Structure 1
Amino acid sequence: MGRITSCSKLIRQLTHTSRGFASSSAAAQSLGRPGEVVTNVTAPEGPSGVLHVPPRLLMGPGPANSHPRVLAAQTLPLLGHMHPPFFKIMDEIQQGLRYVFQTNSKHVLMVSGTGHAGMEACIANLLEPGETIVVGNNGIWGSRVCDLAERYQAKVVNLQKEPGQTYSKDDLSKALEEHKPAVLFLTQGESSTGTHQNLAGVGELCRKHGTLLLVDTVCSLGGVPLFSDAWEVDAIYSGSQKCLAAPPGGAPLFFGERAFEKLQSRKSKVASYYFDLNLVGDYWGWYDKRFYHHTGMTSTWYGMREALALVANEGLDNMWARHQAVADHLWAGLRELNLEPFVEKPEDRLITVNTIKIPEGVDPVALVTNAMEKYNLEISGGLGGTVGKVWRVGLMGYNAKMENVEMVLAAFRDGLKKQGRL
């Protein structure tokens, strides 16, 4: 009791010293008690009232707008991250992921983080220091995998192509034969360039060379066909915020049996604790038990559960057909405006993120700005090697609707007219 009294007396004395406010504040902070002091940082003007967010139709490369059912799910009461009802939600997410990945593998989960978190989780777990990865680098995501793999001390073979090009089986066969890598990385849908990589037969090719096939499906999962088991893909990561139409913050991840065996047979510990799938997999029940690793993203997983339920309700075949139909409608309208695709080969064009050549003499920024200011509509410019060369229009998930395509076409028509091009 005496110690408490003396502490209170000390604070009162310091409050009235010539050093005044600063001294009393420092004393209270050092003692961890509120005492008789005043805050020395003023309340912010920003997060003090009711949040207001302007409406936007997000028709760029992502994120896409979320279904109202997904947004509503995120307002539900919080559960503890180790509560049985929350484990049930995690189990349902895994069931939905098996469907959308088209796999029977037990080893699916959501990484807590964006698509980049999924990328890092795969690189950290599948590669050991000194092992070789061949990276199909035909856009910004291949470049980032090169950077990331180097950080994990892998030997990187940068199999670079110009933006707008994809890889033939002959390209890949030669690279595998020459470099004998532990991992081959490809991006199914390269959102910076608008390319769609054909994966059929690549898994079989990798197995002949003892190589794991890792695929980025961040902007393609749910929008274009993917058959993880049938195509013998070993590992995949994706993002929640594009064709699955949930808010950003979750990275769907799939490991096939060969990838899981690699994880189990590592000679070195996974360099990242947060992304160690031995530990994260424990939390998701990969090992027939549940151990705490980190606090699960409760509200985010509510939204993912609903997003995956919506995919199951629509059916993947119908969902893929819907994305194809709206893409066909978009390009029919763009051609009437004398606009052309950036990707030359039709079979290489991605339908979920469409890249459109910027005609000579057109101000691309002015068109994008007009779309936002007049229509509350996001149309994006290029990224990486396509900056200044393309516009990018996303047709993903909840936003892949004919009425949204019509608004995009109206914005292009208006923007081109304002520049005297129609």
Structure 2
Amino acid sequence: MFSELDPPFRLLMGPGPVNAHPRVLRAMSVPLLGQFDPQMTTYMNETMALYRAVFETDNRWTFLIDGTARAAIEASLVSLLAPGEAVVVLSSGRFGLLLREIAERCGAVVTLVEAPWGEVVPAAEIEAAVARVKPRVVATVHGDTSTTMAQPIETLGDICARHSALLYVDATATLGGMRVPVDAWGADIVTAGLQKCLAGPPGIAPITISDRAAAHIFSRRHVEGGIATAADAPARGARIGSNYFDLAMVMDYWSERRLNHHTEASSMLYAARECARLILEEGIEARVARHRAAGEAMAAGLRAMGLTLYGDQGHKMFNVVGIEIPAGVPGEAVRSEMLDEFGIEIGTSFGPLAGRIWRIGTMGYNARRDAVLTTLAALEAVLRGHGFALVSGAAVDAARAHYAGLS
């Protein structure tokens, strides 16, 4: 007989997932409802309204995709791209390469505009590629946790508008921790996940879709008059290659008509609703400031230890910092000791950065002064144990001084 679940407590200070806010966990424990119960559909409508505010958008089509953040990414690209269509993908890390892979699986013709890992893609190179290719879609990651870099989005909407392209942005790692002003960006689809700055568990993904993108998604079904139904199936032309990730069908489900597509993940919807309530109670500007303060305090402490931060610091995400592993220090042993002795998880990285950097996140519920100071103190102790020369207490002192300077 297996015992009841009783996992050890971990302070999850990696690039995600992070510890869920206690209020989110409590929300997940409330009773289930049938998916068409009037109270359930009321909660769905409330969740849509809440995420319009979180995404800073007026988009009518703002809702949830059942599945992790990648489910929303795939639903977006599968529903936007038909075989043979052109897409420009920006990449300077692992998750830009993921966008390329998903687009290729859609049968799209991908033009990859790359920057070295640790940098961002210059706007001039993006415009040149879009002007040359004339793509249906331009796809990018806002904050790529594999490199800790944040791609500037502000100019992309104008570039896409000039060349009649749709703009897709993966904001999995930034929504709730950095500004994601969807309407101001001119973005057409933006997706996220709960498990990072939103302070929830993985398993459901917020999405917002512009009217322009919605019209394109519905047009792929070749049905006049807007929303299609199951009875329209024989008339459809270019169906997308997925049922579960067909955004037109999911939008039918979230519309006033409530056309059955899947059984809503009730407990995850409750979690997402509470995540959004927490953000709006705190205020978006205050929330972003808290993440910036935690990230900068962490960076100050790491520098005071004599560690080198990875990448272009002018384009670093607020909520994840990369640290070059010092020569002679066993990176995985440090991570293991942090976990085993202090109960603190920090991350490694992928591809060309595997074994070269650690990644420490200050996201959501964990973007707190005590979490920052505790992590720095533990890392300092472990590094001393491996013979790394540092000034004892300097890291915590530097982080505390940074916080004091914000008062």
TM-score normalised according to structure 1 size: 0.87
Where do residues 373-384 of structure 1 align in structure 2 (5 Å cutoff)? 373-384=340-351
The CA distance in 2 between the partners of 1:205 and 1:94, in whole Å, is: 29
Cα distance in structure 2, aligned partners of 1:137 and 1:236? 17
* Aligned mates of 1:394, 1:382 — CA distance in 2: 12
| Counterpart for residue 228 of structure 2 | none
Pick from 341, 354, 358: which aligns with 1:391? 358
Unpaired stretches in structure 1, ≥5 consecutive residues:
1-44
* Distance (Å, rounded) in 2 between the aligned partners of 1:304 and 1:384: 32
CA displacement at 1:158 relative to structure 2: 1.9
Name the structure 2 match of 1:270.
240
- Given candidates 27, 31, 42, the residue that maps to 1:73 is 27
Give distance in 1, aligned partners of 2:105 and 2:301.
45
Number of aligned positions between the proteins: 373
1:408 correspondence with 2:375: yes
How far apart, CA to CA, are the structure 1 residues paired with 2:180 and 2:155?
13
Amino acid at match of 1:315: G
- 1:132 Cα deviation after fit: 0.8
Which residue of the other structure, out of 53, 57, 68, is the alignment partner of 1:103?
57
- In the TM superposition, what are the counterparts of 1:51-66 in structure 2 within 5 Å? 51-66=5-20
Q: 1:155 matched to which residue of 2? A: 109
Match of 1:368 in 2: 335
Residue type at the aligned position of 2:281: N
Measure the CA separation in 1 of the matches of 2:184 and 2:100: 27
Q: 1:340–1:356: 8 Å Cα contact kept in structure 2?
A: yes
Measure how far apart 1:332 and its partner are.
1.0
TM-superposed CA distance for 1:343, in Å, is 1.0
Match of 1:145 in 2: 99
Name the residue aligned to 1:305. 273
C-alpha RMSD over aligned residues: 1.1
Give the match's secondary structure for 2:110: strand
Q: Does 1:359 align with 2:326?
A: yes
- The CA deviation at 1:323 is 0.3
Aligned match of 2:310: 342
Cα offset, 1:383, TM superposition: 2.0
Q: Secondary structure at the match of 2:375?
A: helix
SS of 1:82's partner is: coil
Q: Counterpart in 2 of 1:86? A: 40
Larger radius of gyration: 1
- Aligned partners of 2:381, 2:281: CA distance in 1, in Å? 37
Q: Deviations over 1:203-228 (max 9, x none)?
A: 01111011111111111111011111
Deviation of residue 112 (structure 1)? 0.3
CA–CA distance in structure 1, aligned partners of residues 254 and 331 of structure 2: 45
* Contact persistence 1:192–1:384 (CA under 8 A): no
- Structure 2 matches for 1:1-400, cutoff 5 A? 45-46=1-2, 49-266=3-220, 268-285=238-255, 288-344=256-312, 346-400=313-367
C-alpha deviation, 1:111, in angstroms: 0.4
Aligned 8 A contact 2:28 2:270 in 1:
yes
Structure 2 residues without counterparts, runs of 5 or longer: 221-236, 390-407
Deviations 1:209-258 (A, max 9, x none): 11111111111111011111011011111111111011110111111122
1:75 Cα shift? Answer: 1.0
1:11 aligned residue = none
User: Are the counterparts in 2 of residues 245 and 396 from structure 1 also a CA contact under 8 Å?
Assistant: yes
Deviation at 1:138, TM superposition (A): 1.1
2:182 is paired with a residue of what secondary structure? Answer: coil
Give the counterpart letter for 1:83 in structure 2.
D
> Structure 2-normalised TM-score?
0.90
